[in-house]
Amino acid sequence: MSKPPLNAVIVTIGLLILLEGLAGIFYGGQYRSFPAAFSITGLKVGTTPLGVSRFDVFVVAAVLVTTLALGAAFRYTTAGLRMRAAAFNASIARLSGIRVARVLTVGWALAGLLGALAGLLVSPSTFLYPNSMDTIFVFGFTAAVIGGLDSAVGAVVGGLLLGIVLSYVGGYVHSGSDLTALVAFGILIVVLMIRPGGLFSATQVRQV
């Protein structure tokens, strides 16, 4: 009960590395294609291409629905409120009768479910191999830090801003993935230096 929360993060990263290694042993490290749920052919209005496909529309809709459902669950359901309480202050939550260990376990399971959904949505756009999600993990963490780790809306806005910047860098400045990762790290460092809590972090005011 008194173990630091960072222990769970370190154990999770260790399990990720172990599972990636096992996947490479059993399935090989070669690149594989992953089928999309819908057509990836670009849509057109008459003869004008829109630059998006049915699968792109499905991804946007799935992310939007998942985000709204998650936000509503955290704000209006008992389980969501308990998760927020356990995340913000485990000691007070425990004194309030909340089983913090069980709530955190459910939270990690929910995070794993959402991570699996993200993998299903992004894999058709990239090649699938044991370490294919590592860069995406870094980008996701950077987006969350930019928006604010304690703000769901900030995480969404941070993800959109980071996606636009990286798309511009990859499409117009340089086509290599190394530069986009470098730019993401640069943005992360700047945000941590200027506003460590994120651009949309909640401001806590204490009255003495």
| Residue carrying structure tokens 């057109």 | 44
> For residue 138, what pLDDT is reported?
79
Domain boundaries, the chain: 27-128, 133-208
Query: What's the first-to-final CA gap in the chain, in angstroms?
Result: 30
> For residue 207, what pLDDT is reported?
41
| Burial (Cβ within 10 Å: 0-12, 13-18, ≥19) of residue 147 | buried
Q: What is the 3-state secondary structure (H, E, C) of the chain?
A: CCCCCHHHHHHHHHHHHHHHHHHHHHHCCCCECCCCCCCCCEEEECCEEEEEEHHHHHHHHHHHHHHHHHHHHHHHCHHHHHHHHHHHCHHHHHHCCCCHHHHHHHHHHHHHHHHHHHHHHHHHHCCECCCCCHHHHHHHHHHHHHHCCCCHHHHHHHHHHHHHHHHHHHHHHCCCHHHHHHHHHHHHHHHHHHCCCCCCCCCCCCCC
pLDDT band for position 205 (cuts 50, 70, 90): very low
Give the pLDDT mean for 176-183. 70
Say how far apart CA 116 and CA 113 lie, in whole Å: 5
CA geometry: angle 96, 147, 142, nearest 5 deg = 105
Give the pLDDT mean for 105-127. 85
> For residue 63, what pLDDT is reported?
87
Give the pLDDT mean for 33-48. 79
Closest CA to 60 of 143, 138, 156, 135: 156
Q: Is 146:198 a contact under the CB 8 Å cutoff?
A: yes
Q: What is the pLDDT of residues 8-20, one digit of tens each?
A: 777 878 888 888 8
